[in-house]
Structure 1
Amino acid sequence: MTAPAAPALSTQSELSDERVVIIGGTSGIGWATALRSVALGASVVVASRRPEAVAVALGRLPESVEGYTLDVRDVEAVRTFFADIGEHDHLVVTAGDDLLFGALADTDLRAMQELASVRVWGAIAATQAALPYVRKSVTLSGGAGYLRPTPGFTACATILGAIEAFTRAAAAELAPVRVNAVFPGLVRSPLWDGMAEAEREQFYNATAAELPVGRVGEPTDIAKAFTHLMSNGYTTGQTLVIDGGATIGAR
């Protein structure tokens, strides 16, 4: 009996000739995703709240990348942005302010609302505004820490859980457009720049010692997850956890 022929491997880049819009694409994970998307053949648009961040990012990205200033908390600005950008294949949202830690009893609820205004409502606003224009996928950004929350992580865990719930509901409603989310663990990114360098390195090293993979993540690790979800047409409604094994508690 003759074995079936193996499927031919495509020589085309995964995102060849596709257009990717990355909100939060000027630093950290978003910037790494923009760079990887270009390498995989996509034309890329990045947006960020701070004009200076956009300018710096464009200086570090290929000349083909377009950059815009956008505050996802401004719903009308988000709608105008997508109307101006027009049709695109993939939307990625990695925008997010600093995390909020502390006991629930001491939590400033206004600060929690502000955090949610970017990470949750900003993602929802961007997804809604993109609907007339996005053709293939929406990929959002969460965080793996909510899967095993510790005391002091209640505010963040609540917000991250909302992102997962929205991802699943939107995937069901917006099909055939696919909706997924990436939930990173600890990553070397500007999110932790508020810590003193020595303290930050100690934090990274202590965490790495507890992880099965023996290291903390890099933005490039997470960028691979985003481009995978963009290019895999059989995945929707999923949260892809990239955390070095933290949530299985193997060490």
Structure 2
Amino acid sequence: MSSKDKLRNKRVVVIGGSSGIGFAVAEAVLDSGAEVIIASSTQSKVDGAMARLDSPSASGRTVDISSEEQLRHFFEDVGPFDHFVYTAGDALQLGQFEQTDLKKAKTALDVRFWGCIAAIKAAQKLIRPGGSITMTSGTIALKPIKDWAIATGVAGATESLTRGLALDLAPIRVNTVIPGFVATEMWDTHMSKEEQHKVFQETGKKLLTGRVASPDDIAECYLYCMKAGFTTGSNVVADGGGLLTL
């Protein structure tokens, strides 16, 4: 089978698919001839994403990933499918470690780690033979930055989870994409558009690719994880050479 046809007529679920990398994955899945079901916690985000996708092969739903019951009902409604992608994430707490608010810091795991586990637990029995699960981490797990200790721990937890779940859920394949510096809406939480532009320009000059990534760049890694039937338990890095240069 040609690589371009490996996703044709498949069903792909993307939790976190209403924006950023998740939305780019949803677009790439549609371009590959598959059906995509996106999910987010906010109806307005789902509606906006559906308008942009504008395809009869795309559908969207809301789900609260903190609720196992909602996740169970969500996947029961979706029915059997082939690939599951989890890109949901919220803004991480940054700052000096000694000033860490532990109550807030503990919530950093809620969406990116526990939410992912809860979703996989609900999804696994509906994934068809030959299917896969792809999670999301970040290069901070591999190359920490000062004052990002909590974020480093969260990312590292997902990286390790990949190998454990690959063993537990086999023959379902489990992998994680580890993006480097990506220009997504998430940066709006930390800085203005003008500040972002400056940071992206300065960082891009340091990378071997000469630029920071777009969500479309990273979406290609998720397609690889879905298509590569002999890849499991792997963490796929897409960082523009950042681990070598930044």
Q: Do these two structures clear the TM 0.5 threshold for a shared fold by scoring above it? A: yes
Work out whether 1:188 is the aligned partner of 2:168. no
Q: Pick the structure with greater CA Rg.
A: 1
Q: Is 2:3–2:227's contact at 8 Å kept on the other side of the alignment?
A: no
Q: 2:92 aligned with 1:96, yes or no?
A: no
User: Matches of 1:97 and 1:196 in 2, distance apart?
Assistant: 17
Match of 2:199 in 1: 203
Aligned to 1:5: none
User: Stretches of 4+ moved more than 3 A in 1?
Assistant: none
Relative distance call for 1:210 and 1:85 in structure 2 (3 A) is same
Name the aligned partner's letter for residue 162 of structure 1. A
Q: Which moved more, 1:9-18 or 1:228-237?
A: 9-18
Q: How far apart, CA to CA, are the structure 1 residues paired with 2:7 and 2:202?
A: 37
Query: Which one of the candidate residues 200, 206, 209 is aligned to 1:213?
Result: 209
Q: Does 1:84 align with 2:77?
A: yes
Q: Deviations over 1:20-62 (max 9, x none)?
A: 0000001110000000001101111000011100000000002
Q: 2:158 is aligned with what amino acid? A: I
Give the gaps of 5 or more residues in structure 1: 1-8
Q: CA deviation at 1:12?
A: 5.6
Aligned pairs for 1:159-198 within 5 A: 159-194=154-189, 195-198=191-194
Output the CA distance in 2 between the equivalents of 1:107 and 1:13.
Answer: 48
- Give the match's secondary structure for 1:98: coil
Separation in 2, partners of 1:119, 1:217: 21
* Partner Cα distance (2:134, 2:50) in 1: 22
1:248 equivalent to 2:244? Answer yes
Cα 1:155–1:11 change in 2 (3 A) is closer
The residue that corresponds to 1:20 in the other structure is 12
- Report the secondary structure of 1:181's partner residue: strand
For residues 134-162 of structure 1, give each alpha carbon's deviation from its aligned partner in whole angstroms, at most 9, with x where no partner exists.
12100001111221102111000000010
Q: Give 1:4's aligned residue.
A: none
How big is the alpha-carbon RMSD for the aligned residues of Structure 1 and Structure 2?
1.2
Unaligned runs of 5+ in 2: none
- Give the whole-Å Cα distance in 2 for the aligned partners of 1:151 and 1:161: 15
Between the aligned residues of both structures, percent identity stands at 40
- 1:145-164 equivalences under 5 Å are 145-164=140-159
Q: 1:134 aligns with which of 123, 127, 131?
A: 127
Q: How does 1:95-134 map to 2 (within 5 A)?
A: 95-134=88-127
In structure 1, C-alpha distance between the alignment counterparts of 2:158 and 2:3, rounded to whole Å: 35
Corresponding letter in the other structure for 2:27 = L
Please report how far the alpha carbon of residue 212 of structure 1 lies from its aligned counterpart in structure 2 after TM superposition. Answer: 1.1
Q: How many pairs align?
A: 242
**TM-score, normalisation: structure 2:** 0.95
Equivalent position SS for 1:92: strand
State the Cα distance separating 1:11 from its structure 2 match: 7.6
Q: Name the amino acid aligned to 1:104.
A: F
CA distance in 1, matches of 2:193, 2:118: 35
Q: CA offset at residue 76 of structure 1?
A: 1.4
Q: Measure how far apart 1:113 and its partner are.
A: 1.6
- SS of the residue 1:84 aligns to: helix
Q: C-alpha distance in 2, partners of 1:121/1:225? A: 23
Task: Compute the displacement of 1:248 (Å).
Answer: 1.7
Q: Choose between structure 1 and 2: higher helix proportion.
A: 2
